Structure 1
Amino acid sequence: MKNRRFPYGYEMVNGYIQPCKDELKVLNQIFSDYIGGKNLKNIAESLTNQKVEYLLGEHGWNKNRIKRIIEDERYLGNDTYPKLISDEIYRQANAIKANRRTTTDCIVHSDNKPFVYVVKCAKCGSKMLHRTDRNKKLSETWYCQNSDCKASVKMNISDVQNKVTMLLNQVIKNPRLAECTYHMKPEFSINIRKAENEISRMLEQLDFDKDDLKNLIFGCAAKKYDEDKSARHITNRLKADFENLSPLSEFQVELFQRTVSQILLASDDTVHIRLKNNNIIRKESDDDECTNSNDTESSQNNTSEARICG
């Protein structure tokens, strides 16, 4: 394997080591991708697939090359090499690398996989990644995969499952919490929103075709009816599930998969669940009643006991 004469991002110009314009763009992208959450292997594979040259005529990248780039202090500048990477970017990248050496994906039992894969960040809605830290007595942490959010929650799987079980027991106790309040404006799918936008754009035109507009309106109405009908069917099925159950003594995977679509994990260690009909069930505190996101009447009558969860 050939070796470079200078670190990636540099070239010799008139006897002086100078930044290489084309390679500098790639170098900045490497640091940006790594800070953004990609691992060394992902970055190397991406550069190889894009046929980015590491050496003249050579497009093969590997994680060791990316690792050496991330660690190379010469990018901070010295008497020989001009500065290519800011101190802050270099610090962030190497702090992440140091942290990744001490953390690993927690081994998840097969029964827990359907559970772990639906945990979302309550702040931004992105997926939460479950990890365990070997340097801290195997403590478990959930990290939001959204680099702009960066929320994290220290909580093991069993504790999350216990909180989910508590929320499910509240709905078993009061199946009405699974109901949708249909007087509220429903949240339709992206396809319906696109159809509504298309209708709005057509109405803004001076010479729109009335038949085309009529077809769009009827088509959009039909889609709304189908989605509303489907939501009602799901809600009725959920109510039937909860009405026929006794309180749970432990987490039940089958019930969870049948009734819950997402677990929302917040930085303050609170846990909410999103039911299959999009209702969000939350527990405000030990003294509060469990509420759903559509229960507006209870929130208006007694705002000190229940808040709306959006």
Structure 2
Amino acid sequence: MKKIRYIPYGYTMRNGRTVIAQEEAAVIREIFSSYISGASLQSIADLLTVQKIPYSERTDVWDKARIARIISNAKYIGEGEYDPIIDEEQSEEAAAVKTARQRNTFKKNLEGINLLRDRVRCAACGAPMRRRVSNKHRIRESWECTNADCGERIRISDSHLLEKVTILMNRIIANTHLLLPRPKKRKDLSMAVQQISREIDAELERDNPSDALIIAKTVELAGQLYAESDAQLQIAASIARKRVSLMTPQEEFNPAYFGDIIAYITLGSGGQVILHTKTDAEIGDDENECNKDT
């Protein structure tokens, strides 16, 4: 096994000739079998990593890109100096599965992007962002701030954006405490609270204060203080946490989960994504700026 691969996984050099590496070939056959049977690229990669199957002398960590390259490599049916590891029927079946999944992924991506379309804001200024598509760039999709004074543009593919959102959604599902809103900073009493307080004080200073009026104003004051506190958000967070506790981590973007939990997302430089929940919490890939996992 080579430290750095110059020939495809599944083959090795012996006496100056490319030959099949039997242990690796067995892994390849299992990869094709699992993929054709319905396993995702990521789940196959995760399983091989858990099993500590070496990819090279340097690593036994697999990712879906490596699995995808194996699935798409025509050398495994025998090409030039390479002997066949799988038969053509398996290769064609895997290719058909790949095509079907790509079509299904496109449909799911379109559904997810349509849901996000009115819920993406600029991290720099907070203005809504508009999705653009251009064939002039390797990454066709981008999001442009609608604020002319800002002009921020973030280039990120639909698949990558939805993948990031899914990762953050799974983080919430695994850590429901992230839905708790940040404690609000203490602020001065509002004009409404001050006015009700003055009315109560004025009534108390009268020679014959009205107990009924004082009670009514006290109830009004309590209601106003409650409305201006984060108590309602705390209650909403408690309800949301119970709902999320019934959810399970997802491999793909789940529109229903997103709609239940997220109010909007912000996009920042470098493709940073932050989810803003309906409970006024923030979860992002930059934990220095968002709620942290504990």
Q: What TM-score results when the alignment is normalised by the length of structure 1? A: 0.47
Larger radius of gyration: 2
